[in-house]
Amino acid sequence: GIQVEQSPPDLILQEGANSTLRCNFSDSVNNLQWFHQNPWGQLINLFYIPSGTKQNGRLSATTVATERYSLLYISSSQTTDSGVYFCAANSNYQLIWGAGTKLIIKP
Amino acid sequence: EPEVTQTPSHQVTQMGQEVILRCVPISNHLYFYWYRQILGQKVEFLVSFYNNEISEKSEIFDDQFSVERPDGSNFTLKIRSTKLEDSAMYFCASRQQWAGELFFGEGSRLTVL
């Protein structure tokens, strides 16, 4: 089945910094989503982005389906951006999740 | 904005007890899912449900687990006899199309003592 790998596993930044999180997947996909898991464990939908680029405020995402990767950009980080960022992809019925990038934003 | 809702948000139970986790998917969605996440680990697929039957299930989803859509709005996950290793966050999700965007509830944290 499809494999999903995320990098880096951990990232510590100062407030105001920018960051790029990467998601590689091993096969063609018809769904690619990014999620933010907050410190309370809740999953927040960020982007549904099987291809192309989307932006939502300080966050944007790009998926290059032909090269099997997706990037999540966070600009002007805030402490509330801390948490774990997951990408998940599927080519059939179920979403396969990456292991996540744990992001800590220091004030 | 429509959302997937889950109850309870947190449940503590004794080993061997039955637990039912409840979910109300988005109303016009047709595909329903349960996922779980053991603390500090990846989110794992448990089961998918479409047209009133299970369409796919993982190895985790053994005979102790069952799902039901009893009344056309609720979607429940039952664990018959909980084990310590069932302690996890359980997420319900739904979507309108099988390859479309998946919407998740806020999760139900299960603690088995």
Q: Do the Cβ atoms of B42 and A45 come within 8 Å?
A: no
Nearest to B43 among A45, A48, A86 (CB): A86
Q: What is the mean pLDDT of the segment spanning A39-58?
A: 93
Residue from A5, A31, A43 whose CB has the most chain B CBs within 10 Å, to mutate: A43
Q: What is the mean pLDDT of the segment spanning A73-88?
A: 96
Question: Rounded to whole angstroms, how far apart are CA atoms A16 and A106?
Answer: 9
Q: What is the mean pLDDT of the segment spanning A28-45?
A: 90
pLDDT at B40: 87
Contact yes or no for A71/A22 (Cβ under 8 A): yes
Question: Residue type for B34, please?
Answer: W
Nearest in space to A82 (alpha carbons), one of A22, A23, A18, A13? A13
SS3 A65: helix
pLDDT tens over chain B, length 113 residues: 779 999 999 999 999 999 999 999 999 999 999 999 999 899 999 999 999 999 999 999 999 999 999 887 899 999 999 999 999 999 999 999 877 889 999 999 999 99
H/E run at residue A2: none
pLDDT at B49: 94
* CB-based contacts of B80-85 (< 8 A; 24+ apart in sequence): B80/B18, B81/B16, B81/B17, B81/B18, B82/B13, B82/B14, B82/B15, B82/B16, B82/B17, B82/B18, B82/B19, B82/B110, B82/B112, B83/B15, B83/B112, B84/B15, B84/B112, B84/B113, B85/B38, B85/B112
Residues in B touching A33 (Cβ below 8 Å): 101-102
Nearest in space to B42 (alpha carbons), one of A80, A81, A65, A35? A35
